[in-house]
């Protein structure tokens, strides 16, 4: 499925509205002046308000499940929007997919 390539400067939140920061490790490929993200890059969530009694389970990280099928950077698939991903608690409990509300739109990968 084609989609816009995600990058370190993309505006992404967890399903509960907390900001997610993509830490893109491969600075060799850039889009819109920011490092392009690949499936092995980390996504960190800060300030997630989600709580479930008896123990809070806020989102803290993201696991990317899929990327572009045909476009890679340093041998790894680029992340595209919509990307297959899950936001996870510290105990690795899935909370749902991240929400991408802003990214570059000039580069599309399949």
Q: pLDDT tens for residues 50-87? A: 988 888 899 999 999 989 999 999 899 999 987 789 99
Alpha-carbon distances, residue 3 vs 35, 61, 67, 69 (angstroms): 17, 22, 10, 11
Q: In the prediction, which pLDDT does 54 show?
A: 83
Contact (Cβ atoms closer than 8 angstroms) between residue 58 and residue 51: yes
Q: In the prediction, which pLDDT does 106 show?
A: 86
Q: Which residues pair with 20 in a beta bridge?
A: 12, 45
Residue 1 pLDDT class (50, 70, 90 cuts): low
Contact (Cβ atoms closer than 8 angstroms) between residue 63 and residue 84: no
Q: What is the pLDDT of residues 77-101, one digit of tens each?
A: 999 987 789 999 999 999 999 999 9
**Distance separating alpha carbons of residues 38 and 74, to the nearest angstrom:** 9
Q: Where are the domains of the chain?
A: 3-100
Write down the mean pLDDT value for the chain.
90
Contact (Cβ atoms closer than 8 angstroms) between residue 102 and residue 8: no
| pTM, rounded to two decimals | 0.86
């Amino acid at each position: 499925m084609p989609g816009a390539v995600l990058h370190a400067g993309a505006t992404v939140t967890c399903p509960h509205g907390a900001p997610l920061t993509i830490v893109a490790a491969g600075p060799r490929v850039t889009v819109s002046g920011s490092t392009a993200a690949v499936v092995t890059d980390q996504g960190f969530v800060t300030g997630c308000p989600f709580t479930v009694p008896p123990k809070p389970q806020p989102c803290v990280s993201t696991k990317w499940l899929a990327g572009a099928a045909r476009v890679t950077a340093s041998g790894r698939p680029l992340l595209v929007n919509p990307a297959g991903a899950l936001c996870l608690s510290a105990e690795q409990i899935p909370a749902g997919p991240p929400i991408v509300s802003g990214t570059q739109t000039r580069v599309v990968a399949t």
